[in-house]
Amino acid sequence: MVAGLNIAVCGAGIGGLSVAILLSRQGHRVTVLDQFDAPKPLGSGLMLQATGLAVLRELGLDREVLALGSRIDRLWGLTTPSNKAVLDVRYSAMRDGLFGLGVQRTMLFDQLYAAAQADGVGFLTSKRVESVDAETGEIGLQTGEYLTGSDLVIDALGVNSPLTRAPKRDLAYGALWATLPWPTGGAFDGAALEQRYEAARKMAGVMPSGRTSRQTPETLTYFWSIRADREDSWRAAPLDPWKEEASSLWPQTESLLAQISSHDQLTFARYRHRTHKTPVSGPRLIHLGDAWHAASPQLGQGANMALLDAFAAAMALRTGSRLADAVMAYKKLRATHVGLYQLMSWLFTPVYQGDGRLMPFLRDHLAAPALRIPPASKLLAAMVSGALGSPLRKLGLSP
């Protein structure tokens, strides 16, 4: 075991906080650097899969997260106006008891942040990291300051991390997201992520996203697909024409759209694709989560992949005898699974978000019927749950 290191974690997101907790519990001195005055989450609802939940169980946070999240048994999408099912993923097709969990990012962040503080993780706020010397571990800040003394630096700064040279490719489409109260009246399935499509140019979705605490009400996350180059014009235009377009695609969402009175209620998420060939940039710098591998959220794996990376990094340091061996072990533990899901995300993105006609046509007339035939239904459930490539077995985790 590599023991007693000074470790700097750059970025207080899900992956950064998780690896900080795990490494602090191993006896390392861990400090998280964050650019904000106080660490805070960015983004809206997300889906936890069995992979991410397995890591949260190791962190001792799964019970509370399960209590506050919304169990999701099915992913279900229909085209309009035909109401043809072109997405129907049932977790039970893989095994009984398998499910996803819709959560608010704020809730998950709060649980991780509290655990990190309780475990003695240090925090340096208002520190915008600009560079790291991978040989010495020296950290350069935007202010011109330099921080020294880190045996290992973990880059968890996300897809826009300045610590990686891997190019990122901006995808044409992103999405507008809003968290809204769960409505009464049964218009939506409380155990399903539902979507509606018009080809691949339009997509709306509703995902149960649980509560932020035991005292707050149930919520859902509403999202609307939009080209990134049209966000500014959308914000400059009145809301009513967009609401009419959105409700025409999915009439049952009219009651949700009625709650939106300002553009500011919807946050735009820009989707980007990046894959570092290696998560190891030197003897003292490794990349984690979206700083290593970023993709569109079509398969809902982002937070889960970051949690797996965090556990793998801690496992590598726990089982390695030297730091140099540990950082290379980290790569071996995660590279295959990361590569597999990067490829699948790249393939699936134009099927559900894009201006092309061929991919949605093939989806509707060939892929959708074929995927309902065993064993395709089981394979699709394994894909969505993050199980392909057996990442939990490789990390010694039980599902």
DSSP 331-361: HHHHHHHHHHHHHHHHHHHHHHSSS-SHHHH
Compute the distance between CA of residue 41 and CA of residue 221 in angstroms, rounded to an integer.
Answer: 16
Residue 43 clears pLDDT 80, i.e. is over it:
no
Asked if residue 3 has pLDDT above 80, the reply is: yes
**In this structure, what token pair is assigned to residue 59?**
């962190």
Q: Dihedral (C-alpha) 208, 212, 215, 221: value to the nearest 10 degrees?
A: -30
Average pLDDT along the chain? 94
Is the pLDDT at 300 greater than 80? The verdict is yes
Can you give the pLDDT at residue 1? 84
How far apart are the C-alpha atoms of 31 and 12, rounded to whole Å? 10
> What band does 140 get if pLDDT is binned at 50, 70 and 90?
very high
pLDDT at 79: 93
Are the C-beta atoms of residues 246 and 223 closer than 8 Å to each other?
no
- 29-33/122-124 β-pairing: parallel
Instruction: State the chain's maximal CA–CA distance in angstroms.
Output: 62
- pTM higher than 0.85: yes
- pLDDT score at 167: 76
- Is the predicted pLDDT of residue 254 greater than 80, yes or no? yes
Q: What's at 97, amino acid-wise?
A: G
Position with higher pLDDT, 45 vs 136: 136
Q: Report the alpha-carbon distance of residue 190 to residue 74 in Å, rounded.
A: 10
DSSP 81: T
Q: Which domains does the chain have, with CATH numbers?
A: 6-169+272-394 (3.50.50.60)
pLDDT in tens, 306-360: 999 999 999 999 999 899 999 999 999 999 999 999 999 988 899 999 999 999 9
pLDDT confidence band for 224 (50 / 70 / 90): very high
Confidence of residue 143 (pLDDT cuts 50, 70, 90): very high
Query: Is the pLDDT confidence value at 73 over 90?
Result: yes
